[in-house]
Structure 1
Amino acid sequence: MAFETGSYGNPAATNQRDYWRVTLQLVKRAKVDLAMLVLMSAVLIPLDIHLKDWLLSTRAVAVLGIAMSIFIGFRNTQAISRWWEARTLWGTVVNKSRVWADGLRGLLSEQQWRSERTQQLVQLQVAIVWQLNFQLRNFWHPDLQLMRQQLLDQLALPDDSTVRSLSVQRMMGIQKLAEDQWIHEWGRKHLLEISDAMTDAVGGLERIRNTPIPPPYDLFVRVINWVFGTQLLLSFESQGSALTGILLFFGFLIAERIGAYVEGPFDQDGSSFSMPLNTICVGISEDLMPRELNYGRYRPSRNPVFWD
């Protein structure tokens, strides 16, 4: 039975041919750690050192390896949890943005819906979403920043508007609709609930951005990883298999670093470690203001290796 392909795009997925790009991203991020590993290997392996003065017992190394696996596993689990919570909160932003436009459309008459006031309320929600994107990451694609400025100009709002000031404008808009009796009390409550849900999502995203994993824990995991890796290197060197020790050290090092990178879902490099915020915001914009915004040279990607 033949199937036809639609126009909605395939689900986001990493292709095997892109694995080398992910590897390059890892190497770029961990270049300092990898340089230190190369330097340590170059210094320790050729030296005729007394290994018994440096090596722990075999049992101690085994226990240290178990502890290291637990710490790395815990860190990576927490990192993925932070990343997924951020994605869930952005899912709330997407849904509430749609409900905001649908709620206005359902509460107002056709004439009221087409009015400049109502369309500005829809545009205001889009402006809030883009401003949240920029504030979380503190950087932007130049063409998207220009689009944001043009949107704020249409709303007669200053260029230095923040998520908070735009949210206040949204609440004032709700108040004005109620005062002019465009919406009844139930409709006002419905719009306020949407606004409250958006505020909760924004607060959660700001918490993730501004609260990293506690520095003492980060330092402890890194130090114990290097201690364990050094012991692996020396242990396999004493058995005449230094390359095996280096590769195992490299594996533990990268595993620990992946957890550290995923902990920051709003990083600036636009790599597969960060979230596709521009792509999400373009989706919201097209839902609420189809074909009205000019994104310039920016084109969203559904490839997790390239999204930003």
Structure 2
Amino acid sequence: MLLIQNIRLSRILRNTWHVDLIMIASCTAAYFVREYLIAHHFSIPSIIPTVLGTAIAFFIGFNNNQAYDRWWEARKIWGALVNDSRSFARALINYVDEDDESVKRMIYRHVAFLYALKANLRNTVDEIYTKYLSEADLKEIKKHNNAHNAILNIQSRDLQKLSKANAIDGFRFIEINEMLTRFSDSMGMSERIKNTIFPTTYTYLTKVFIWLFVVTFTLVISQDAGPAAIFLGWLIGFVFVSTQINGMSLVNPFENNSAGVPLNQITRTIEINLLQMLEEDEIPEPVKPINDEYVL
């Protein structure tokens, strides 16, 4: 997630340079085609790039709105996980009577759940969650394809054991169990965003329309601007391309990049909060921003 208010032009160019080269080549080709072929036969009506520009504006606006909705929903889901995690730990610490070892084990296991979920969403191999699990838990989790769901199942079983041992009463059992249900809901909503592909036709058509617009705009303006039409065609195309790429960077909010939801920071924050609530001695350091620009 970006932290700075002003984006450097160099960062934008790093993200668009390959498209810029294609646009410059297209504008150059369009200029020479118009200069040596089309100019001797007919002129290109200016209505063509006008109509294309309007269509592009609609497509980019729709794509960016939908992309931001996905990103914001993902951020709200993990914001809810932060709140529910603190409430879960607080309830276990203060509601469970005379069974501190079970409380510690369940809170540790919840930290493992968060790290396992984060690794799944980012398609990475992150074994950090294993240090918060017992050998018995690890042995059981290996039988499942979905590690974070298996952890929730173990949590539910241990909660039932606490209830049978009269370590918590019925009302507190229901309250804590509802938190486990909310964890499952957040897990499912995160997986839904990750596994739902943004319609490729929208992004494909937007790219095609931008290319057609750049070419026709260069053809039209070269009638008056001459060779400067190459630069002007690229400049106008750059505005559309950078806007479109900026929106598409939010389509997959769990990707491990500067525009994604900062899962590393959020997970570490929860880990620190829960360990401090347990009064642990070894507390990890918060995740630091990279180059003071973004946090992962």
What TM bracket, shorter-length normalisation?
Answer: 0.7 to 0.9
- Corresponding residue for 1:235? 220
The superposition leaves residues 257-300 of structure 1 with CA deviations (integer Å, 9 ceiling, x where unpaired) of 112111111123x31x111110000110011113656758x843
Residues 1:102 and 2:90 are matched in the alignment: yes
Runs of 4+ in 1 over 6 A off after TM superposition: 52-55
CA-atom RMSD, angstroms? Answer: 2.7
Amino acid at match of 1:70: F
Confirm or deny: 8 A CA contact 1:209 1:266 kept in the other structure: yes
Aligned pairs for 1:181-196 within 5 A:
181-196=166-181
Amino acid at match of 1:190: E
Residues 1:124 and 2:109 are matched in the alignment: yes
- Corresponding residue for 1:3? none
Extract unaligned runs of 5+ from structure 2: none
Confirm or deny: 8 A CA contact 1:61 1:228 kept in the other structure: yes
Aligned-pair identity in percent equals: 24
Change (3 A) 1:138 1:295: farther
Question: Structure 2: how far apart are the matches of 1:54 and 1:146?
Answer: 66
Counterpart among 268, 278, 298 of residue 264 in structure 2: 278
Amino acid at match of 1:252: F
Amino acid at match of 1:14: I
Aligned pairs for 1:50-69 within 5 A:
50-51=37-38, 57-69=45-57
Confirm or deny: 8 A CA contact 1:51 1:234 kept in the other structure: no
Instruction: Quote the offset at 1:85 in angstroms.
Output: 0.5
Taking CA–CA contacts closer than 8 Å with sequence separation of 6 or more, which of the two structures ends up with the larger relative contact order?
2
TM-score, normalising length: structure 1: 0.82
Extract unaligned runs of 5+ from structure 1: 1-11
Question: Structure 1: how far apart are the matches of 2:138 and 2:37?
Answer: 71
Corresponding residue SS for 1:266: coil
Question: Structure 1: how far apart are the matches of 2:42 and 2:120?
Answer: 49
Instruction: Quote the offset at 1:213 in angstroms.
Output: 1.4
Aligned pairs for 1:103-252 within 5 A:
103-109=91-97, 111-112=98-99, 115-139=100-124, 145=126, 147-153=128-134, 156-158=137-139, 160=142, 162-240=147-225, 241-242=228-229, 243-252=231-240
Change (3 A) 1:28 1:261: same
The superposition leaves residues 207-241 of structure 1 with CA deviations (integer Å, 9 ceiling, x where unpaired) of 11111211222222221222122222222222214
